[in-house]
Structure 1
């Protein structure tokens, strides 16, 4: 089968000017904003042994992995679909001796095995931060502040945070709303699908009110507190309320207590991030558990931002200041202009035109075209 020239695999694409520059610019802004909170950047590899990617986070699964055999070691490699698991590996091994809390930042491409209708791209640019050693209220509040600062640095406005309680069903199933352990996955699936009819069954009807609890944070917390669960959620809801109080009034807060899509390894709290004028979520995070080689479990909390929707929306693109340097110009003039922040385009022949330039060099000074 002949492949058409320039054809790329489904879900992969070239970034051309000016979007390629915008993506690089946004990554720099986000990483700098995260770093100002004390998060040191690490750069894990794009691929590593499969077992390292799937065995470091508690409840993490071998899904969405693009695999290949390493010709050197003859072991199975996988391209990372997410960088968080790699940060967990680094924290548990290479930096296992570093005092906690450990604050790490990262940024780079990830590869998905399959695209989705909401996100047709398989290669994505991801940036984020992980706070390792703590997963309490103060740690979650800090991570949310860092995420908000990073999004604002990228130019995102009208930010919304949608909180969720990923282990809510397990918490209730073991006590206040008992169901057999074997039925927990089915109940979670019904809640994920917002299937009120399915939840009306005999052993699941008690979970039906959870669907109606989703909405703005104040109303959602009130509905959850009204549920007859014997105070099983009091501590959890008080923590959510305390975290919400640390978020500025310019950020909209919602709560969907049963949302689990994309929160497979998160523990007691998770969140999705949205921005005004941007389609779909632009970030996700929450608390989770890192597994150490000796079996020890360590709490952590973090977030990942998806930069591609920001680039597609035009963020990160800056007006060009491009000056055309005619043939025979003084090279010192070009050096001076570049030091001042200009982009210089030098003529290679007398017939060259200042295509794409905003200025032309005349008598040692840039003149508007």
Structure 2
């Protein structure tokens, strides 16, 4: 057995990659701060009830479980930081006050999942995200989408595709159709797979009315540009006001995105089921042409704080720091260090201290007999004594 092997899907970073990731992490935290988002740092493990609160069974399956040796309770290693941020807002910051002021929070941290989202992918991504708590409306929806797109633009990623939908449309149509719980599960499963032939056969088998059947058959085909919303208003008009309100809300958001981010291709998908079990409003995913998997996603999940005694409106997005770093243009790590000799000298020590206080990278040779030249230690300059003074010179 090779004891140096890591488990499949578990990542580590060597110096060059670690430096790139850390630089990007700092850049994003500072960027979010300019938008008013404050950084929080949740723990790696929590009691299981907290980690899976309001997030559906899928997150529970992704969570590694461990036993707390102090009290025997089950704990989980976080697979998603969203429930943790909701807990912090509901219980620690808002302190149970449902009318507390709006909170803007951001986070960056490693999560651990039982399975990767894709074949050969990471099970330990570095999750990056931001959330708005305490506001429900077009304004907060648009702000969080704007911050998500700004995150991607900050690393010069262009030609983005924003896939967006609204869970209220599917919910409203299913409710109008009077589907039983079992019928809903079957229909939603087929809808998530966009299996149109299967849906058409299923609708006939259920003996539904022509109007209801037409709407259920129409949903998986309501995909495309902003014109899809007008088509949906016509084809789903009998489903009731909640569906029309959801379409109106979605239309307002897409218009704002198109007007303010004309370079973004917006794709409406009224049959999108990703995160359906916990989202309560709009849902969105960002793709980059040529990459099969999404690079960022999010949505509205009002009421997630109810499990923590404080039900508040919430919306957010998340992405993966490693994914973002992989999309950045490759840049060589510059050799910008300064090599200082081993020599014990107070004047030399003072110069080294001053340089480090200025943010310069100074590497001391470990002994007088060291033969390593500056370039071998990542240095493009060195300190040498000229006369009575120590000075920095180029190699």
Q: Shift of residue 61 of structure 1?
A: 5.7
1:365 aligns with 2:392: yes
Q: Judge conservation of contact 1:323–1:359 (CA < 8 Å) in 2.
A: yes
Q: 2:287 aligns with which of 274, 282, 285?
A: 274
Q: Shift of residue 318 of structure 1?
A: 6.4
- Secondary structure of 1:111's aligned partner: coil
Name the CA shift for 1:253/1:260 in 2 (closer, same or farther; >3 Å): same
**Given the two structures, how large is their TM-score scaled by the length of structure 2?**
0.83
- Secondary structure of 2:318's aligned partner: strand
Q: Shift of residue 121 of structure 1?
A: 0.8
Name the CA shift for 1:145/1:4 in 2 (closer, same or farther; >3 Å): same
Name the CA shift for 1:157/1:333 in 2 (closer, same or farther; >3 Å): farther
Moved more, 128-137 or 91-100: 91-100
RMSD: 2.7
Q: Shift of residue 7 of structure 1?
A: 0.8
Q: Judge conservation of contact 1:31–1:127 (CA < 8 Å) in 2.
A: no
- Secondary structure of 1:292's aligned partner: helix
Name the CA shift for 1:324/1:102 in 2 (closer, same or farther; >3 Å): closer
Q: Judge conservation of contact 2:65–2:77 (CA < 8 Å) in 1.
A: yes
Moved over 6 A (4+): none
Structure 1 residue runs without a partner (length 5+): none
Tell me the distance in 2 between the aligned counterparts of 1:171 and 1:119. Answer: 38
Q: Paired residue for 1:136? A: 137
Name the CA shift for 1:163/1:78 in 2 (closer, same or farther; >3 Å): same
Q: Shift of residue 187 of structure 1?
A: 0.7
Tell me the distance in 1 between the aligned counterparts of 2:54 and 2:215. Answer: 35
Structure 2 residue runs without a partner (length 5+): 207-212, 385-390
Q: Shift of residue 285 of structure 1?
A: 0.8
Name the CA shift for 1:188/1:206 in 2 (closer, same or farther; >3 Å): same
- Secondary structure of 1:163's aligned partner: strand
**Given the two structures, how large is their TM-score scaled by the length of structure 1?**
0.88
Q: Paired residue for 1:257? A: 270
Q: Shift of residue 332 of structure 1?
A: 4.3
Map 1:100-249 → 2, pairs under 5 A: 100-118=101-119, 120-175=121-176, 177-201=177-201, 202=204, 203=206, 206-216=215-225, 218-230=226-238, 232=240, 233-247=243-257, 248-249=261-262
Moved more, 40-49 or 18-27: 18-27
Q: Shift of residue 279 of structure 1?
A: 5.4
Q: Paired residue for 1:350? A: 370
Tell me the distance in 1 between the aligned counterparts of 2:27 and 2:290. Answer: 20
Q: Paired residue for 1:22? A: 20
Tell me the distance in 1 between the aligned counterparts of 2:174 and 2:263. Answer: 36
Q: Judge conservation of contact 1:23–1:308 (CA < 8 Å) in 2.
A: yes
Moved more, 123-132 or 342-351: 342-351
Equivalenced residues, count: 364
Tell me the distance in 1 between the aligned counterparts of 2:370 and 2:250. Answer: 68
More helix by share: 2
Tell me the distance in 2 between the aligned counterparts of 1:360 and 1:332. Answer: 17
Q: Shift of residue 27 of structure 1?
A: 1.6
- Secondary structure of 1:123's aligned partner: coil
Q: Shift of residue 294 of structure 1?
A: 7.8
Tell me the distance in 2 between the aligned counterparts of 1:35 and 1:82. Answer: 22
Tell me the distance in 1 between the aligned counterparts of 2:379 and 2:349. Answer: 19
